[in-house]
A and B are shown apart, each in its own frame.
Chain A
Amino acid sequence: MKKDINNDKTSLFKLFRTFASIGVITFGGGYAMLPFLEREVVQKNKWADDTEILDYYSLSQCTPGIIAVNVSTFIGYKERGVKGAIAATLGMVFPSLVIITAIAAVLTNFQDNQYVSMAFSGIRVTVCAMITNSIIKLSKKSIVDKTTIAIFIAILISLFLLKVSTILVVLIGIVLGLLTSALKKISKTNGGNS
């Protein structure tokens, strides 16, 4: 293969190919793709670090659209601007287009096949194990002090027990982040003056 002269520029095709390879093994959407995203985007290509991935997820969570697509768009844009955003998104949706079209064209009782459903029960368990690993990794970037532990627990309670909606929770997170930082700043300047 001939190497591109402009080595530091990621090719659009590479973005497309990478996201297609993530799309083809992601079962279950946005969060299930975390382990693959970490491997391809963070470790292999270094297009983003774990903190940035987390930030993209948080923004994707509160903006319209499919989370997996939103995250792909962010990374594509970061690498190659608007063209990169489109290439990454098309890569992400390409496997679905092919697979679903094939399924819709040839069969309708696909999920009723007992072997398919047994295989997917097994896949779900391994995906759970991989996601757990991703969550542990991301927790190191997001839970950095006592304040963030408190925010994490408060949000968990509001989601599981109080059934607060996603959008509201995101807004609460922003407000808490700003408020606690402002308080810290004030106490710091007060401490410095006294």
Chain B
Amino acid sequence: MTGAALLPHQVLDLLPQREPFRFVDEILEVSKRHIVAHYTFPADLDFYRGHFPGNPVTPGVILLECIAQVGVVALGIYLVALEGGLEAVDSRLSLFADADVDFSGVVRPGDRVTVSAKKKFFRRGKLRSEAEMHLDDGTLVCSATISGIAVPRLNL
């Protein structure tokens, strides 16, 4: 198998998470060390009706999912492709392993966030990244050390 350095839009196409559970719009930069991506939270997302009535706030678990999709899944796809090509990407699925998170801001419906993540290590299929989420005005919303592990797709 030959490795391939994917372009940002190719990584986005390979991201397995789809509507209504995709929280990445655009990947701006990706390399073997880092990734940067955007997502705008549409104001009509269903969960805002309940979280909270009359005062919609994006749930922290969704912010964490957004960070995971960028910093672990998308970056992981890039790294796996670099090692083993598209065949390797197709045969695996990245699952959440562990996280250490701090929330320091609020994301409202319609807000755009930028997620930037740096690889801490990628060993034996496990990727750990240090990631931050910022609003367009520069507010730090969330910082996290987050890990995922690639498992064979068929064994789930």
The yes or no verdict on A and B being binding partners is no
Interface residues of B (CB under 8 A from A): none
Interface residues of A (CB under 8 A from B): none
